[in-house]
């Protein structure tokens, strides 16, 4: 295990990077005049910005370190989350995205109001804000603080959490979503550059693909594990991983907000497809380095230490500073998106809906204040997570139990005209508490043993039955569903429009190519 000694040059590079990111956020913030542009960047985002920003927000500090750690400990099976994300994003671009952009909503809860009713909007918005702050933000801060404490052991966890919160929160407060997307794009490029550099250096050191295969743990060079595997059983890909992907990429406002900011439907689709394409290289730039690291550090007590171990052992001083900057970028890129997205829901779903008219200057001030308040709450709660022991390890399990009702009401509302507002409301109001109780009974109290990806499948079935049963016993109301639900007419009309579009600009062909590449990669590593 190398000594994690950070040199002055490394710190200078990290400092320059942080100052540049903050300066960029402040510069963008000077252009913000009203809350609409603050939360959606004036709806002028172009596709490279959308794609790279989506990738960066997804690749949190815990993912950046954790994917390598999973590669070290378990092999390549964790990549199932990434290639499934590619499939989900293609589905999103082809079938769903136009309805979101056509509705001109500011938040995903607002879309549910248009499709169902205001009660469903309030319930889902409250659910989203709470999970964003107490799970996503606080979890990212806590894990990020622990990671930085490995590199800076002289500083307390509290101090490091505050540093991360202030760094990410500052440019979000002043710059809004546009600052988030621009800084996330710069951070995405840095993340990809550092990951690729480490992979190439390790592969050259090992000398052959056969050596890489031999470095894997037993059964670790295959994507599909046995059905009784504790970490990621193969059937769990269909019962859990797929539906968690649907929730994250299609229903989670923090993510979809960046698509709502698209300049037009084409830029939104191309950005989503770019994000899908960028999920595939994670196998090589994050997971494989962790796996190869077993050859050089065979006895690590904590698998998540493999990424910093490789950085400090293989990268020279200076380049190592860029790697540390990439880590800090990963820590900030998720937090900034969550803070802006959560504040967007607070303002748009709870303040603006009260009916009181406010001038834009005051609304912009309230928007920035909301980001600041949520940042403080997340920072105060983050250190408390450590008191819950192994629940930290169960965050994904918690979401698997909790989010299936959300998946059902979104997919049901988009693809079934018979879905009603009453059904959506009761599916959330009943399904979410049942999910919490199931999580507590199985994962915390250990009253029964059930892998969480299988539990997600059961919660999906329960939520679907509840949604359909209530829908069949209630009226859809007077809502015009033509612009809010998919139909064959929509597909046929768009097919006619696409006849005039060159193949290389046709999103359907691009999506098909992505699916073929994904299928080939999955086959090669099956």
pLDDT above 70: residue 460: yes
pLDDT at 111: 96
pLDDT at 391: 45
- What lies within 8 Å, CB to CB, of 131 at 6+ separation is 399, 402
Q: Calculate mean pLDDT across residues 66-86.
A: 92
pLDDT at 203: 93
Most distant CA atoms of the chain, gap in Å: 68
CA gap 171, 21 in Å, rounded:
8
Smallest CA-to-CA distance from 145 within 371, 384, 311, 398 is with 384
pLDDT above 80: residue 175: no
What is the three-class DSSP state of 370? Answer: helix
Evaluate whether 314 touches 172 at the Cβ level (below 8 Å).
no
Smallest CA-to-CA distance from 368 within 335, 343, 334 is with 343
Please, what sign has the CA dihedral across residues 100, 103, 107, 113?
negative
Q: Specify the residue for token string 């290389």.
A: 504
234 found inside a domain = no
pLDDT above 50: residue 171: yes
pLDDT at 394: 60
pLDDT above 50: residue 381: yes
pLDDT at 390: 44
Q: Which two tokens stand for residue 165?
A: 């919160």
pLDDT at 84: 97
The number of folded domains in the chain is 1
CA gap 142, 165 in Å, rounded:
10
Enumerate the H helices of 357-482 as residue ranges. 360-381, 395-402, 404-415, 421-439, 452-472
pLDDT above 80: residue 96: yes
Smallest CA-to-CA distance from 307 within 207, 197, 422 is with 197
pLDDT above 80: residue 157: yes
What is the three-class DSSP state of 297? Answer: coil
- What lies within 8 Å, CB to CB, of 154 at 6+ separation is none
DSSP letter (8 states) at residue 30: T
CATH for 300: 1.20.1730.10
- Helix 306-314 and helix 61-73, axial crossing angle in degrees, nearest 10: 90
Enumerate the H helices of 152-252 as residue ranges. 157-206, 209-215, 234-236, 242-246
pLDDT at 173: 82
pLDDT at 72: 92
DSSP letter (8 states) at residue 295: H
CA gap 289, 292 in Å, rounded:
5
Distances (CA, A) of 512 to 91, 92, 241, 276, 323: 10, 13, 21, 12, 34
What is the three-class DSSP state of 60? Answer: coil
Selected residue with higher pLDDT from 164 and 514: 514
Lowest mean pLDDT among 287-301, 396-410, 471-485: 471-485
pLDDT at 422: 95
pLDDT above 80: residue 25: no
| pTM of this structure | 0.92
pLDDT above 60: residue 249: yes
Q: Calculate mean pLDDT across residues 11-28.
A: 83
Q: Calculate mean pLDDT across residues 135-153.
A: 80
431 found inside a domain = no
- The pLDDT-based confidence of 61 (bands split at 50, 70, 90) is low
475 found inside a domain = no
Q: Calculate mean pLDDT across residues 27-35.
A: 67
- Burial of 198 per CB tally in 10 Å (0-12, 13-18, 19+): buried
Percent of the chain with pLDDT over 70: 94
Convert the pLDDT of each residue in 384-434 to its tens digit. Answer: 776 655 444 567 788 899 999 999 999 999 999 999 999 999 999 999 999
pLDDT at 354: 79
Convert the pLDDT of each residue in 274-286 to its tens digit. Answer: 999 999 999 999 8
pLDDT at 386: 66
What is the three-class DSSP state of 262? Answer: strand
pLDDT at 23: 83
pLDDT at 388: 57
- Burial of 368 per CB tally in 10 Å (0-12, 13-18, 19+): buried
Please, what sign has the CA dihedral across residues 10, 16, 21, 25?
positive
440 found inside a domain = no
Owning domain of residue 135? 8-214+249-382
509 found inside a domain = no
Selected residue with higher pLDDT from 4 and 48: 48
pLDDT at 392: 47
pLDDT above 90: residue 24: no
What's the whole-number average pLDDT of the chain? 88
Q: Which two tokens stand for residue 135?
A: 């799970």
Convert the pLDDT of each residue in 297-355 to its tens digit. Answer: 988 888 878 888 888 888 888 888 888 887 777 777 778 888 888 989 999 899 888 77
- The pLDDT-based confidence of 33 (bands split at 50, 70, 90) is low
pLDDT at 62: 63
87 found inside a domain = yes
């Amino acid at each position: 295990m190398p000594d994690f000694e950070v040199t002055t040059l490394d710190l200078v590079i990290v400092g320059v990077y942080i100052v540049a990111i903050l300066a960029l956020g402040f510069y963008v913030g000077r252009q913000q005049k009203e809350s609409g542009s603050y939360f959606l960047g004036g709806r002028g985002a172009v596709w490279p910005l959308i794609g790279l920003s989506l990738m960066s927000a997804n690749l949190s500090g815990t993912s950046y370190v954790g994917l390598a750690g999973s590669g070290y400990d378990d092999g390549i099976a964790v990549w199932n989350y990434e290639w499934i994300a590619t499939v989900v994003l293609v589905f999103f671009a082809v079938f769903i995205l136009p309805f979101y952009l056509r509705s001109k909503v500011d938040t995903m809860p607002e879309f549910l109001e248009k499709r169902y009713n205001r009660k469903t909007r309030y319930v889902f918005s409250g659910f989203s804000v709470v999970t964003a702050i107490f799970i996503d933000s606080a979890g990212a801060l806590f894990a990020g603080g622990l990671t930085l404490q490995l590199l800076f052991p002289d500083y307390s966890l509290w101090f490091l959490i505050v540093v991360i919160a202030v760094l990410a929160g500052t440019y979000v407060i002043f710059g809004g979503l546009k600052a988030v997307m621009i800084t996330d794009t710069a951070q995405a490029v840095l993340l990809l550059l550092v990951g690729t550099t480490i992979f190439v250096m390790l592969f050259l050191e090992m000398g052959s693909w056969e050596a890489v295969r031999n470095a894997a743990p037993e059964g670790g060079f295959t994507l599909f594990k046995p059905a009784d595997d504790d970490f990621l059983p193969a059937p769990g890909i269909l019962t859990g991983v797929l539906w968690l992907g649907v929730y994250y990429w299609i229903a989670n406002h923090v993510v979809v907000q960046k698509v709502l900011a698209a300049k037009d439907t084409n830029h939104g689709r191309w950005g989503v497809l770019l994000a899908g394409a960028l999920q595939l290289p994670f196998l090589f730039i994050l997971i494989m380095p962790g796996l190869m690291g077993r050859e050089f550090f065979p006895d690590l007590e904590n698998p998540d230490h493999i990424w910093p171990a490789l950085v400090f052992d293989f990268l020279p001083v200076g380049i190592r500073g860029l790697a540390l900057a990439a880590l800090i970028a990963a820590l900030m890129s998720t937090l900034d998106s969550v803070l802006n997205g959560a504040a967007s829901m607070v303002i748009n779903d709870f303040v603006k809906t009260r009916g009181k008219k406010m001038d834009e200057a005051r609304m912009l001030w309230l928007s920035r204040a909301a980001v600041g308040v949520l940042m403080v709450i997340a920072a105060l709660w983050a250190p408390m997570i450590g008191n819950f022991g192994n629940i930290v390890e169960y965050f994904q399990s918690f979401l698997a139990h909790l989010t299936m009702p959300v998946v059902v009401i979104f997919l049901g509302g988009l693809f079934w005209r018979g879905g009603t507002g009453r059904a959506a409301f009761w599916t959330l109001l009943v399904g979410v508490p049942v999910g919490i109780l199931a999580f507590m009974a199985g994962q915390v109290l250990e009253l029964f043993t059930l892998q969480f990806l299988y539990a997600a499948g059961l919660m999906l079935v329960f939520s679907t039955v509840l949604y359909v049963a209530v829908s069949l016993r209630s009226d859809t109301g007077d809502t015009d569903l033509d612009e809010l639900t998919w139909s064959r007419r929509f597909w046929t009309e768009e097919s006619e429009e696409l006849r005039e579009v060159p193949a290389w600009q046709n999103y359907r062909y691009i999506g098909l190519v992505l699916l073929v590449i994904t299928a080939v990669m999955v086959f090669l590593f099956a």
